[in-house]
């Protein structure tokens, strides 16, 4: 993955020096979305007092969420046309 390893020891790290656990909050929140966790639950797990912070800053759109939304919409449309 870009790191230099010698005898199972990392000689040169590929991780950015400014990467901190705090940076992973975006990944965590987006992963919650991908797992289908309701946004109000993600808000609680993230510790946000305002859901707009969770939605607008920490949750990112992925190909998976777009694909699943399209499938949901198509299924709903199919069900409406059969009734």
Phi/psi zone of residue 36: left (φ > 0), alpha (ψ -120 to 50 degrees), beta? Answer: left
Whether residue 5 lies inside any domain: the answer is no
Whether residue 13 lies inside any domain: the answer is no
d(CA 60, CA 77): 26
What pTM did the predictor assign? 0.66
Whether residue 9 lies inside any domain: the answer is no
Split into its structural domains, the chain has a count of: 1
- Neighbouring CB atoms inside 10 A of 42's CB total 22
Whether residue 55 lies inside any domain: the answer is yes
Whether residue 11 lies inside any domain: the answer is no
In this structure, are strands 9-12 and 4-6 parallel, antiparallel, or unpaired? antiparallel
Average pLDDT over residues 2-18: 80
Boundaries of domain holding 56: 20-81
Contact (CB, 8 A) for 4 and 10:
yes
**pLDDT (tens digit, 9 = 90+) per residue, 39-74?**
999 999 999 999 999 999 999 999 999 999 999 999
């Amino acid at each position: 993955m870009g790191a230099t390893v010698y005898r199972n020891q990392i000689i040169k790290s590929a991780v950015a020096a400014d990467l901190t656990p705090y940076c992973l909050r975006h990944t965590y929140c987006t992963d919650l979305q991908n797992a289908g966790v309701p946004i109000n639950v993600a808000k609680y797990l993230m510790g946000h007092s305002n859901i707009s912070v969770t939605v607008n800053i920490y949750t990112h759109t992925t190909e998976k969420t777009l694909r699943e939304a399209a499938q949901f919409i198509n299924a709903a449309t199919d069900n409406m046309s059969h009734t």
